[in-house]
Amino acid sequence: MDLRTRLSAALKEAMKEKRKDRLSTLRLVNAAIKDRDIALRGSEESSETGVSDAEIRGILGKMVKQRQESARAYEEGGRLELAAREIEEITVIEEFLPRRLSEEEVDKAIAASIERTGASSIRDMGRVMGELKERYTGQIDFGLVGPKVKQRLT
């Protein structure tokens, strides 16, 4: 089952069960995906089905990151109830993302990506990162992976 179908089914289930918090989060996810569909409509990249599963995972990953930053800001500001709400939204969104890779798995993925792209110097870092994003979107925190790739290529 593709990601769009899973999201739609979860949205319907949340409506039936009258789970307001979950429903509002899933509606936000759907809105973000539809916004991306609309943005792609006029471009050459568009397809009849809309954005791909990989792009949806990218959208979901971005939404998780935004909520993590918001939760951190709310905690620093003493607004614990708002921070808890953001964390609840993260939990709902992460249900649709693949599991996070462990530190060891990330190191293996970096090594494999460097080998596949034939990267040999820091100038090849963009190709390696692009390849990693294509294969592991939603599974790796790319803010942490960048320095590791750079270290391996220098």
Complete DSSP assignment for 75-141: HHTT-HHHHHHHHHHHHHHHTTSPPPPPHHHHHHHHHHHHHHHT--SGGGHHHHHHHHHHHHTTTS-
In the structure, what pLDDT confidence band is assigned to residue 139 with cuts at 50, 70 and 90? Answer: confident
* Window from 6-10, 16-20, 35-39 with minimum mean pLDDT: 35-39
Q: Are 89 and 115 part of one and the same domain?
A: no
Q: 70 near 86, Cβ under 8 Å?
A: yes
- More confident: 42 or 148: 148
The answer on 57 and 115 residing in a single domain is: no
What CATH number has the domain bearing residue 31? Answer: 1.10.1510.10
Range of the domain at 83: 3-94
Among 16-20, 52-56, 103-107, the least confident range: 52-56
What are the percentages of helix, strand and coil residues in the chain, rounded to 5? 75, 0, 25
Q: What is the crossing angle of helices 125-136 and 103-117, to 10°? A: 120
Residues 114 and 138 occupy one common structural domain: yes
Q: Is the pLDDT of residue 13 over 70?
A: yes
One domain, residues 61 and 116: no
The total number of structural domains in the chain stands at: 2
47 pLDDT higher than 60: no
Domain boundary among 94, 115, 145: 94
| Same domain as 53, residue 27 | yes
Q: What is the pLDDT of residue 100?
A: 83
Residue 4 reports pLDDT greater than 70:
yes
pLDDT at 44 over 80: no
Per-residue pLDDT band at 117 (split at 50, 70, 90):
confident
| Average confidence (pLDDT) over 69-91 | 94
Question: Which of 58-62, 80-84, 117-121 ranks highest by mean pLDDT?
Answer: 80-84
CATH code for position 144: 1.10.10.410
